[in-house]
Structure 1
Amino acid sequence: MKRKNLLVKSALAGVLAISTLVPTGLAHDAFEGGSKLEGEVLTQEDLQFLQDAKLSGGKNLRFLHEAAAVQISPREDGRQNNTADVYAHQGFAYLGTHTANGANGGVRVFDLKDPSNPVEVAKFADDIPFTWQEKVIVKRVNTPHFKGDLAAVSVQQTSRNNVNRPDSFGGVLLYDVTNPYEPERLGFYPLDRRITGTHELYLTTQGNRALVLASNPYADFYTGGVEKDFQIIDVSDPANPEKLWQFDPRILPEVPENFNGYHWNAPDGKTRPLFNHSVITDNNGHHAYVSMWDLGTVIFNIRDPEKPVYLGRTEYREDQKGAAHSAALARGGTILIETREIANPFGAGYEDAYGYTRIFDIRDKTNPVLLSEFTTDLTFDFTPPINTFAKTVHDPKVLGNTLYLSYYSGGVISVDITDPANPVEIGRYTPDRSNVWGVFVDRNYVLASDMGQGLKVLLKNNSNAGDRNVKVAE
């Protein structure tokens, strides 16, 4: 493969967040207009080239330096998977994997005792055939049935409802990772095989109760409304997960009764995609923030998880593609960060812009108030490639007054949100041939998962770990 073409391919093919989820005849918002590259995956050759990236590229995230960059180990059959999201808990990093080279890469566990030398110590959640494991959340839980560190893992089929793959199911896997070196499977919440699976999820606790909030894109569409895109699952007994509630968008006055599970005839006269991509909760598990693409970020009171109450949602200008992809909270849950993944910046009646970030005041959760929109030099740069994910924002994380954004080819961008009405970029980490999918912020480090290059560990500049120091951004 020619190197000049690899960025285009890697930014699109390996990172198609839900390209394999698109209903027949329909398209993810990013593919309106018909991208011919949909469905491609990174090859072994591509991954080898990406993981050999030099360390001399621009890495200038303010106040941080790259302490380590380590690729995940190949599978037992020699195949090299690629990474997806990243999470950290009690000094260990948990990396989900995407679809490259046959998927089934599982979740990889890295010991971060020495952040400059992460060591892969375990792999789990790779036992359901023909699936990939994009998202993992780990939390300490204490229920009448289980006490310890619980991992919830999203599972998606690589080929939905394939008659030749009867043992392939999407859903949520639950593991005991109290000993991260020896994860133990506890249970599985399977979805109807007509549904690709759970794309993203969140694990929260309410007292001695543990809950998984699951995003199952197009579940409503594929099952004719029997299963829904957003579900709340009680995992207090991880061996016996139980669905408590699911969200029917038709309860909202702006969603008509004849809504078909994907195409939404919005009040602005446009036909917009409506599906659940992601979900988070606040720290005490009282409110859920559900990224429902062009329906916006939908906010629920979930104090009673069997009877959640709809509170409000974010809205868009008529010329904006919604594409509510992920969310994060700041200022004790009074500020909402909403990232919008838009890989195709063109479309009749819409602004020409890749996905960017919006910041809301949600002190009144029934009426989110837009404070600002954060764009970068990538947002309006239409030089090739155009129909790829290379220049759109992806995931947000917040620590204090700093917002961290994963940006695919843009790497990780840090933003000062001390004044949320005036966000200011303060730094950027962009490794050579960057393809950063996820970012996670811990008190001790910032982690980035690069689709082709594996785990990146970024440390404060006053740390003694690692020797790959970088210049502080001007």
Structure 2
Amino acid sequence: MKLLPAGTLAATLAGAVGALAFGSVPALGSGEDPKPGQCTAAEVAELRAAGDNFADVCFLPGQELAGIEGFDVALDPGQVDRSNNLRLVANLPLTGAFKGEGAYGTDLAFKGDYAFAGNYEGFTVYNIEKPWKPKRVAQVVCPGSQNDISVYRDLLVLSVDSSRSNPTCRNESQSASEKSSWEGIRVFDISKPWQPRFLRSVETACGSHTHTLAPSKNGRDLFVYASSYSPSEDQPDCQPPHDFISVVRVPIAHGERAKLVGEPVLFPDGGNPGGVYSSDTSGCHDITAYPAKDLAAGACMGDGILMDISDRAHPRVIHRVTDEVNFSFWHSATFNNAGTKVVFTDELGGGAMPTCNPVVGAARGADGIYDIVDRQLVFRSYYKMPRTQSLTENCVAHNGSLIPVQGKDIMVQAWYQGGTSVWDFTDSANPVEIAHFDRGAVSDTELVLGGSWSSYWYNGYIYSSDITRGLEVFAMDDKRVASAKKVRMSRFNAQSQPSYNG
């Protein structure tokens, strides 16, 4: 594939990581702030424009990687390493408007025989009736990173967390310091998946980095929890302290009537103020709802939270945890099917750094497994995919989903250039990997953003949205997940977990 040339995001990331690797950031526990000039103002702006948390490589505490160059890596660029029970069966590369630099593939959602893949430039619809032979049936150009995506019945929702000139799909990038700029969610009609139709946009404070769907109990409305963070005094629509989320109500039969209905405060005390290692909380990165259990778990920068969502319009925090030693940035969450555990991910380095190596260790940039005991989160252990990655591979815990195995807690998860890992956390204190698929670095000379953004199980197969390679489909041949292949879902959004009992 084509590498990004110098002067682009790749070079910015490489420069930032190079500075980190050679000690321009204070050692862990030093109490010092990152030194000025680690990233220039232009580099910070470029990383922020790229979306996700990439600019955090410049600011997050605890990013010391001195000595990172002193380890061996087994794979050459492009070389594949996989377990015998996980095989690639299909790949559809990014194409058309999504083939250029900066048109990164993001999240996935599913409905019937269709997969919907977000992209910084819009979204793609795939027919996956034959998972081993997926077909591209629609591409919607609608710029606005990161276009986090979800579906419910005939509605599709997109998150926009980059400041735009207007709320339509015909927009341009525009400074967030301009009051007229827009960020928020977009709603589409997908009653004809091959012909999506724009319905409505709703502006939300600080935009919508991600969002979560929580259908009402009467089946009439879809509540959308829009998560965003990092306010700034020079942004009129994203003012500090931003300790809330935005709640948008979308009438299921009339998506064009979507509107903002609330901004519930989750952190009345301001949340985690941050420290030597952990981030300060100014909003949430991601929320996963488990509507059948009236629960949600929020990954909120410096905090992990458990919420009661029995009143969909008014989610309420019932417990909060922090990890000042090993969690730098609380990124996402996954429940087990019983609703008795939550797996939180730590996106150390904002997804832009090489953190899968012995220097960073097995407890940082990893997953934290928590049992839910009397509606409180109790830490049990960490899990990190066990293969060492190179200095030019961005690798850290990222998006995954539960595999519907009755009586077991098994998860599939993306690790950017660390590939896809399948692991069992039935024993919360002793998680173990049971399958993997990994490639060597996109480049062995410079850090080029790539790898799997999301890896999800859907109706018997694993689907991966690769940042630069497009849609990939995997088959897992293992008796430990055989029962999961019998579970059929009419739709799936990883951040709105279904119960496999009905």
Q: Same fold (TM over 0.5)?
A: yes
Question: What does 1:253-332 correspond to in 2, within 5 Å?
Answer: 255=270, 264-265=272-273, 272-274=279-281, 275-284=283-292, 286-295=294-303, 297-316=304-323, 318-332=324-338
TM-score by length of 1: 0.73
Cα separation, 1, equivalents of 2:278 and 2:239: 19
* Residue in 2 that maps onto 1:28: 56
Equivalent position SS for 2:279: strand
Question: What does 1:219-234 correspond to in 2, within 5 Å?
Answer: 219=231, 222=235, 223-225=238-240, 229-234=244-249
Matched, 1:138 2:151: yes
Structure 1 pair 359–321 and aligned structure 2 pair: CA distance change class (3 A): closer
Indicate which of 377, 399, 414 corresponds to 1:406.
414
Matched, 1:58 2:75: no
* Residue in 2 that maps onto 1:443: 459
Equivalent position SS for 1:58: strand
1:430 Cα deviation from its structure 2 partner:
1.1
Indicate which of 413, 429, 433 corresponds to 1:425.
433
Cα separation, 1, equivalents of 2:139 and 2:150: 15
* Residue in 2 that maps onto 1:358: 368
* Residue in 2 that maps onto 1:239: 256
TM-score by length of 2: 0.69
Q: Is the 8 A contact 2:278 2:329 kept in 1?
A: no
Question: What does 1:29-44 correspond to in 2, within 5 Å?
Answer: 31-32=59-60
Matched, 1:188 2:201: yes
* Residue in 2 that maps onto 1:337: 343
Equivalent position SS for 1:239: helix
1:22 Cα deviation from its structure 2 partner:
10
5+ long unaligned stretches in structure 2 = 15-43, 64-76, 165-172, 443-449, 480-502
1:402 Cα deviation from its structure 2 partner:
1.5
Matched, 1:83 2:96: no
Matched, 1:177 2:190: yes
Q: Is the 8 A contact 2:243 2:266 kept in 1?
A: no
Q: Is the 8 A contact 2:266 2:316 kept in 1?
A: no
**What's the CA shift string for 1:161-193, capped at 9, x where partnerless?**
52899975211111111221111222111235x
Equivalent position SS for 2:133: coil
Matched, 1:374 2:391: no
5+ long unaligned stretches in structure 1 = 36-52, 99-104, 141-148, 257-263, 464-474
Cα separation, 1, equivalents of 2:232 and 2:257: 24
Indicate which of 190, 205, 227 corresponds to 1:215.
227
Q: Is the 8 A contact 1:72 1:120 kept in 2?
A: no
Taking only the aligned residue pairs, the percentage that are identical comes to 21
Cα separation, 1, equivalents of 2:5 and 2:364: 20
Cα separation, 2, equivalents of 1:33 and 1:319: 11
Matched, 1:121 2:137: yes
1:2 Cα deviation from its structure 2 partner:
10
Cα separation, 2, equivalents of 1:319 and 1:226: 24
Indicate which of 200, 217, 227 corresponds to 2:210.
200
1:29 Cα deviation from its structure 2 partner:
6.2
Indicate which of 138, 156, 165 corresponds to 2:161.
156
Cα separation, 2, equivalents of 1:152 and 1:326: 18
Indicate which of 268, 284, 295 corresponds to 1:251.
268
Equivalent position SS for 2:229: coil
1:441 Cα deviation from its structure 2 partner:
1.1
Amino acid at match of 2:327: K
Structure 1 pair 312–220 and aligned structure 2 pair: CA distance change class (3 A): farther
Amino acid at match of 1:190: E
Q: Is the 8 A contact 1:345 1:354 kept in 2?
A: no
**What's the CA shift string for 1:8-55, capped at 9, x where partnerless?**
949958xx9x941799xx9626644799xxxxxxxxxxxxxxxxx96x
1:91 Cα deviation from its structure 2 partner:
1.6
Q: Is the 8 A contact 1:218 1:276 kept in 2?
A: no
449-458 or 356-365, larger mean C-alpha shift: 356-365
Amino acid at match of 1:238: G
Equivalent position SS for 1:456: strand
Aligned residues: 397
Cα separation, 2, equivalents of 1:22 and 1:452: 14
Q: Is the 8 A contact 1:447 1:455 kept in 2?
A: yes
* Residue in 1 that maps onto 2:398: 394
1:408 Cα deviation from its structure 2 partner:
0.9
